[in-house]
A and B are shown apart, each in its own frame.
Chain A
Amino acid sequence: MSSDPRFAGLGPDEVFAAALAEGRFIIQRCRTCGKTRHPPALVCAACGSADIAWITASGAGEVYATTTVREREGSYNVAIIELAEGARLMSRVEGIAPEGVRIGLKVTARIAPEPQPHVVFDAAGDAP
């Protein structure tokens, strides 16, 4: 095999999905500059290094931006969460009314199983 061994194994989307299916929320951290990113890729978006490690996300984060999507069937939240590790991802805050989700709200990650495992968030500690 003449393929570059640094890129051996499953691609990062598959690695992420497999971990999620096992109940683990993992994100990437650059071994060169320490920045995190999600969704995953082959390089660090901050410094361009291809030397990337997977870490288990602490699950702690806060709401960076939020919207309430109004559909006939009902309203729901869509938010961008900034994780304590720095990376941001699109997700949803559950357990409180969608309009009650505020920028700056501290949240904690949880894996929702259906229809495919995906990361959602609850208000951390006592909900406001």
Chain B
Amino acid sequence: MTSPLRGKTAIVGIGNTRRWNAPGRTPFDQAQEAAILALEDCGLGLKDVDGLFCAISSSGLPVLNMAEKLGIRPRHADGTMVGGASFLFHLQAATSALVHGLCDVALIVYGSNQLSAGGKLVSVPDPQPYEAPYKPRYPISSYALAAARHMHLYGTTREQLAEIALAARGWANLNPDAFARGPLTRGELLASRMISDPLTKADCCLVTDGGAALVLTRAERAQDLRSKPTYVLGTGAAVSHRQIAAMPDLTTTAAVESGQRAYAAAGLGPRDVDHVMVYDAFTITTLMFLEDLGFCAKGEGGAFAASGAIAPGGTLPVNTNGGGLSCNHPGMYGLFTVIEAVEQLRGNCGERQVQGCEVALAHANGGVLSSQATAILGTAATL
């Protein structure tokens, strides 16, 4: 049975600052700009916003700071912090809050200056005393342990991971807004510096600045706004652990659960999806999420990617903005998976446009494969 929330809310505004290296701006500057852009996109104003959803790596109280800066007095707020998946948890919470009348206009917003402020991943303070003595590089060593296990069990290879980075660059080269564009070869990828075996620098996402925002309303109001609504057909979320050693199975993520919940809520399955956005913090995450969300069988992600399926011209358009690997990665990239899904469903994507795109799946990850959230979005034709 599909969710009673299916199609009851819509993303009506999107904001993307596309400022991937913007010295002199704070995370809140990026977030404010994105919020303004998202509201202008749909023709609503700041005074209409009564639900605020926000997470920022460098702030413990992002909702309070955002509300003050935007001059709004929300009656509903949610600062859930589960890493890069936070914004899809917010999306799920916002759909429920809207339908149940806790708010009428929901703003989900994020900003970061991690590249211009220092060029390293900014993580929220969260000491791990049972990991610290062993000095894992955070977060790459955790993902490397998962990749090593996947290779051990399924014969996944570094060459297959390189195909994922290559596909992402192929899409980025069709996106004028992508940060990393230009030719990239298998040879360059495989010669990249090893950081935490088996992952190299080329397996890692970018470090950029950026800001993004979404505005959501109930579906009946969405029809009266100036943008083309993107309907929320189903969402799912799941949390499985904090530290990588506590992950129940290093080769299967809780995306299995979040995906099944989202598919069930939408009454759809992987075969119904026209466009896929999965959080590619590392090449291995694209591979594991394609498996866990049912686009290929467990263990076959490497062969699936190496077949060219996810690259431009392939059978399944994945991470069409260029992803975290080649478009942007301000630290908590999750919201950008939804932004690109909406752009594709609106038909705004120029050279990289997926033809006949009616159903898109956006999936985000947080922590070290710790939190997973999936959203299935559709055009009016899918209602």
Contact = CB atoms under 8 A, between A and B. Distances in A.
Interface of A: 13, 38-39, 45, 64-70, 76, 78-80, 88-92, 99, 103-104, 115-116, 118
Contacts of B194: 68, 70
A15 B146 CA distance: 30
Contact of B245 (A13, A80, A92, A103): A80
A69 B135 contact: yes
28 contacts: A38-B130, A39-B243, A39-B246, A45-B246, A65-B146, A65-B152, A67-B144, A67-B196, A67-B197, A67-B199, A68-B194, A69-B135, A69-B137, A69-B141, A70-B195, A70-B197, A78-B141, A78-B196, A79-B145, A80-B145, A80-B250, A89-B130, A90-B130, A90-B131, A90-B134, A90-B243, A90-B244, A118-B133
B155 to A, nearest CB: 13
A64 B243 contact: no
A99 B270 CA distance: 39
A76 B135 CA distance: 9
B243 A103 contact: no
B332 interface: no
For the side of the interface on B, what is the size category? 20 to 34
B148 A103 contact: yes
Contacts of B158: none
B136 interface: yes
Nearest to A103: B152
Contacts of B245: 80, 88-90
B294 to A, nearest CB: 25
A67 B141 contact: yes
Interface of B: 129-131, 133-137, 141, 144-146, 148-149, 152, 193-199, 243-246, 250
A64 B250 contact: yes
A65 B247 CA distance: 12
Task: Give the 10 A-B CB pairs with smallest separation, nearest first.
Answer: A118-B133, A67-B144, A65-B145, A68-B197, A90-B245, A39-B130, A65-B149, A103-B152, A78-B136, A67-B196
Contacts of A39: 130, 243, 246
B133 A78 contact: no
A71 to B, nearest CB: 8
Contacts of B137: 69
Instruction: Give the one of A13, A45, A69, A99 with max B CB within 10 A.
Output: A69
A69 B130 contact: no
Contacts of A38: 130
Instruction: Give the one of A45, A67, A90, A115 with max B CB within 10 A.
Output: A67
A64 to B, nearest CB: 7
Contacts of B197: 67-68, 70, 99
Nearest to B137: A69
Main secondary structure of the interface of B (DSSP, over half): mixed
A64 B145 CA distance: 9
Contacts of B146: 65
B198 to A, nearest CB: 8
Nearest to A90: B245
Instruction: Give the one of B135, B194, B197 with max A CB within 10 A.
Output: B197
A102 B152 CA distance: 9
Nearest to A116: B133
A115 B132 CA distance: 11
Contacts of A13: 129
A88 B144 CA distance: 17
Given A89-B245, A90-B244, A90-B245, A78 B135 contact: yes
A68 B133 contact: no
B250 A90 contact: no
Nearest to A117: B133
Contacts of A92: 134
Contacts of A66: 145, 148
